[in-house]
């Protein structure tokens, strides 16, 4: 594989109903992170910032391993746990991240998730949601008691079942091929609460530069309600990945597929089933 070349853009907004932005992000090769803090002013924002700060130690490195990432997840748990212990309300954060890692001699994306921030992947005109929400709403969808389209309006949509800072909240991991021409989106739930999957797909397909695309998606979410902080990181793979025509270039959760998580100890690639759009 030739040297990986990406372009990236990011944007965040406090939204219309919050006074503090508890989202934080990092967008510097080979690590891209979105964290959505919980715990209110001086707790939630500190929690998300602590998550980003831990992963910042991996930014700018030529080589990152799977072990480096799992150690960073453990360190993020510890950092947020210390913040929570020092506040009366507690604190926590989501974590969704995409990192270029060297695995079995090849460069691949390692996707990490705790909570309900998300990673989407656009290859050609096909949009996949790679991550699986750790939320009450997602559990109801899995049980057939709620449709995916109803998630954004569900009263308990903000109730998550895993968070950074909670010792028993394990991360989910996916290992994916890096595809030339693909576009990745990392976002907080402030975006997905306001925008449907099809609206996200349309926004990513507009063809604008990553920075303009991230800003347009966030601005649209704020215009449509802005009920929460909104953050988007958009990553384009310009060169250095496998061909999009190659076999088995997809992976993770298709919008119409059942999820299978990958534990850190047995990370492997897998083929996605189904497609959206």
Q: Which helix (H) or strand (E) holds 184?
A: strand 183-187
* 100-130 burial code (b ≥16 CB/10 A, e <16): bbbbeeebbbbbbbbbbbbbbbbbeebbbbb
**Does residue 271 have a pLDDT over 60?**
no
Calculate the average pLDDT of the chain. Answer: 86
Whole-number percent of the chain with pLDDT over 70? 87
pLDDT at 150: 80
What is the mean pLDDT of the segment spanning 214-237?
Answer: 97
What is the mean pLDDT of the segment spanning 113-124?
Answer: 96
Q: Express each pLDDT in 242-259 by its tens digit.
A: 988 764 555 543 333 233
Q: Express each pLDDT in 149-170 by its tens digit.
A: 788 778 777 789 999 998 789 9
* pTM metric for this prediction: 0.88
- DSSP symbol at 246: S
**Residue 1 banded pLDDT, cuts 50, 70, 90:** very low
pLDDT at 196: 93
Q: Is 253 helix (H, G, I), strand (E, B) or coil?
A: coil
First to last CA, the chain: 30
Q: Express each pLDDT in 169-194 by its tens digit.
A: 999 999 999 999 999 999 999 999 99
pLDDT at 148: 80
Q: Express each pLDDT in 42-92 by its tens digit.
A: 799 999 999 999 999 999 999 899 999 999 999 999 999 999 999 878 899
């Amino acid at each position: 594989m030739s040297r990986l070349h990406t372009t990236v853009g990011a944007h965040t907004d406090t939204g219309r109903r919050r006074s503090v932005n508890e989202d934080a992000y990092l967008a510097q090769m080979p690590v891209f992170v979105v964290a959505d803090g919980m715990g209110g002013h001086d707790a939630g924002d500190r929690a998300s910032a602590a998550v980003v700060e831990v992963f910042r130690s991996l930014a700018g490195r030529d080589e990152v391993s799977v072990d480096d990432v799992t150690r960073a997840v453990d360190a993020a748990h510890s950092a947020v746990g210390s913040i929570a212990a020092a506040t009366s309300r507690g604190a926590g954060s989501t974590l969704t991240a995409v990192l270029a890692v060297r695995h079995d001699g090849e460069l691949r994306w390692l996707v990490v998730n705790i909570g309900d921030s998300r990673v989407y992947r656009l290859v050609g005109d096909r949009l996949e949601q790679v991550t699986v929400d750790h939320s009450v709403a997602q559990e109801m969808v899995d049980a057939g008691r709620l449709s995916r389209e109803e998630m954004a309006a569900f009263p308990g949509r903000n109730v998550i079942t895993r968070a950074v800072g909670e010792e028993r909240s394990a991360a989910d991991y996916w290992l994916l091929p890096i595809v030339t021409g693909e576009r990745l989106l990392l976002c907080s739930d402030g975006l997905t609460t306001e925008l449907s999957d099809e609206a996200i797909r349309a926004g990513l397909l507009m063809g604008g530069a990553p920075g303009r695309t991230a800003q347009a998606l966030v601005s649209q979410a704020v215009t449509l309600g802005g009920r929460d902080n909104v953050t988007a990181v958009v990553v384009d793979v310009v060169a250095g990945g496998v061909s999009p025509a190659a076999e088995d270039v997809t992976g993770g959760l298709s919008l119409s597929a059942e999820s299978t998580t990958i534990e850190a100890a047995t990370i492997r690639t897998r083929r996605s089933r189904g497609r959206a759009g």
